[in-house]
A and B are shown apart, each in its own frame.
Chain A
């Protein structure tokens, strides 16, 4: 989003940090029925932040994930706290238990109905005139399954809830394109499992920031948890 309250400029250190982290420590411990993988990253925000992620990998193919973010001192607002990965484009079907069927954001979710909703990944990108962030499932997603036509795929379960966003493009691709036809041909599903994403705001679109209760200030730690589980029809 260009313009607005210039979050893209004010909080650009967080964008940079998301692309440029440094692995400090990786610790793996075998506990028999599960293994614990503890990962520590440094994020090069203007004062260094830390991300600690614990993966509890069960023999039963479930992975519990706990993500702790410790912002450095005096940093800008955090637009989004979460993890992103990519799936093959064949995993194009979404089923989720949470608000929907349309996109929901922290400060725009009153019309979302909590239910089991279904959708296609391609349809999550809204035809806003300029390609931009869209298709979010706001806080309150109990679980989401991302599958192919046969039902193979992945299940994300919040502990208790998360935000999920699955789009055919990465946020970086979206911000590059001035029109939809300028987007690259999609070859993936970009999945973001977030603790939080800031609200969209909108009192005006040339200065008013998102209201404070829908923003993440960098003066506290943030943690959230979810579970990943493989789905297979075999």
Chain B
């Protein structure tokens, strides 16, 4: 599972690099996806949740060296070499979009592919004439306490594809999917003293055909970069599920832990302690399970516990418990502690109506682009708190992460403040199809086999990262990407991995042969009359939501009450998500220095 030796690099067989004309190649030597868990050394540290205070965590954000090229041919090919001098390079902030740091230009495009004004190409080719490359270099030294430990490098989000070298060697580091983490095992490449980390980011790759979201097109390392060290025993992955009994009173808590013994140390005894703690810091249950790690690299254990009348999580009462994992080695010595918050809630379909904790749910939702006027998608925690506090003030109870997995902190906040989340896979191919077409034609990913593994990897990356959040009730397969068998496969992935949530995809509205890809009927911008027509149709039917409605940009949002009255009148009409939460505008200045909010078209180029 873990590659502990250096990568033996083999270039793609077709003579193209990984990022071009190779849709099947979306990663190289990336670590398996998992629920994030920064280890701590003791219980109190773990309960404080400040990752940066963990002795196992090292922040790599800050000023990095940066070199910008307009296309891959112009990049500096040997920049990652140990003796290549980058001291004369510019500095750039990490995380940030390079377009907001003085390079390239922010571009707003809706459905058309953003390179169309530079190059006429067909999928799966990536642009080469104008396809900026950002080369980043930083260095770090490890604390003495890390010397003997495995070290993982974590990128939380990089747009759109990138390679990683450490100390002159390709870590394997190649990854696509802008919005989910990419981790690499640095252990075989580390050296004493200064380590040189080199990252080469491509604005567009072949996978950019899957990332045609209607938003500002911006690139670079835009989320956190950090290292973490793995103790002798490490909770590499965990899965927590809750279910309520038939009377919605008592619960079952199922905790599955994947414990890593990286060096296959011969623990005679090792155990995992799992404690459930209430929000008032009272211990509810505590169980200990012996781990069988004698000469084994890993162990998966599952503990199921009955919890009597837990306080239930909902958007109205977002009550969170904490699960504390304590890994103990020889002589009961604590090796690692990790704490995570959970909620007891049951989301399910009963008689074709979606229910939360046994009651019908109505989504009074909004779509949210992760965006700030100053940082674009490199949002801060305060940006996120500002958004969610305002949402709660306006009685919004649900959010769709349109149209990609958001910053991990956003889901913590949704758990804490109480929002039902549709978590959306990073997939949009609006420029490959048109409204009204009857067959798949050249739509992506359609039923094309060369894209199947790529889109399934996007599902898996989001699912594994986000699976433990009580706020997430629905997985969405993406946005405006038409239909095809790949959507059935994505649907089946989520349903088979996760019986505790439902799957949403609006594209079936445009391509009915893929109807099975969505557990609910979902449309955009339909009139109240059309909703009522659906509700009055006889026979069994899926519940209905508007994944986008009431286009609320500028002075708008008229007759919203007509929709909400229908949601109250017809059980099958279960709410909607307004488009959208806030304007995507960038703070900018005129040549005279006047500050203004710039919108699509203000930086030139096409916008449609």
- What residues of chain A have their CB less than 8 Å away from a CB belonging to chain B? 1, 103, 105-108, 110, 126, 128-130, 132-134, 179-181, 199-206, 208, 210-211, 214
Query: 22 A-B Cβ contacts within 8 A?
Result: A1-B554, A103-B555, A108-B558, A108-B559, A128-B554, A128-B555, A129-B554, A129-B597, A130-B554, A132-B555, A134-B555, A180-B596, A181-B596, A199-B558, A202-B556, A202-B557, A202-B560, A203-B525, A204-B551, A205-B554, A205-B556, A211-B559
Residues of chain A with a CB closer than 8 A to B599's CB = 129-130
Residues of chain B with a CB closer than 8 A to A208's CB = 525, 527
**A203 touching B554 in the complex, CB below 8 Å, given contacts A129-B583, A129-B585, A129-B597:** no
Residues of chain B with a CB closer than 8 A to A128's CB = 554-555
**A203 touching B561 in the complex, CB below 8 Å, given contacts A128-B554, A132-B554, A179-B596:** no
Residue from A107, A129, A133, A208 whose CB has the most chain B CB atoms within 10 Å: A129
Residue of B nearest to A211 (CB): B559
Q: Which of A106, A110, A133 is close to B555, meaning CB atoms less than 8 Å apart?
A: A133
Residues of chain B with a CB closer than 8 A to A133's CB = 555
Residues of chain B with a CB closer than 8 A to A205's CB = 551, 553-554, 556
Complex CA gap A19/B194 in Å reads 74
Chain B min CB distance to A175 (Å): 12
Chain A min CB distance to B489 (Å): 31
Interface residue B549 (Cβ < 8 Å from any Cβ of A): yes
**A203 touching B550 in the complex, CB below 8 Å, given contacts A107-B559, A179-B597, A211-B559:** yes
Q: Are A202 and B596 in contact (CB under 8 A)?
A: no
Complex CA gap A174/B151 in Å reads 58
Residues of chain A with a CB closer than 8 A to B590's CB = 181
For B488-528 the 0/1 string (1 means CB < 8 A from A) is 00000000000000000000000000000000000001111
Residue of A nearest to B561 (CB): A110
Q: Are A211 and B555 in contact (CB under 8 A)?
A: no
**A181 touching B594 in the complex, CB below 8 Å, given contacts A130-B599, A203-B550:** yes
Complex CA gap A180/B585 in Å reads 13
Please tell me the number of chain B residues within 8 Å of chain A, measured between CB atoms.
26
Q: Are A203 and B597 in contact (CB under 8 A)?
A: no
Chain B min CB distance to A234 (Å): 39
Residues of chain B with a CB closer than 8 A to A107's CB = 558-559
Chain A min CB distance to B203 (Å): 26
Residues of chain A with a CB closer than 8 A to B585's CB = 129
Chain A min CB distance to B554 (Å): 5
- Sorted nearest first, the 6 A-B pairs with minimum C-beta distance are A107-B558, A202-B556, A204-B525, A205-B551, A200-B558, A107-B559
Interface residue B380 (Cβ < 8 Å from any Cβ of A): no
Chain A min CB distance to B604 (Å): 14
Extra contacts besides A1-B555, A181-B595, A202-B557 (14): CB < 8 Å: A105-B555, A107-B559, A129-B583, A129-B585, A130-B554, A179-B596, A179-B597, A202-B559, A202-B560, A203-B550, A205-B553, A205-B554, A210-B558, A211-B558
Chain A min CB distance to B577 (Å): 14
Complex CA gap A105/B527 in Å reads 19
Chain A min CB distance to B531 (Å): 11
Within 8 A of A (CB), among B183-232: none
Interface residue B552 (Cβ < 8 Å from any Cβ of A): yes
Q: Are A202 and B561 in contact (CB under 8 A)?
A: no
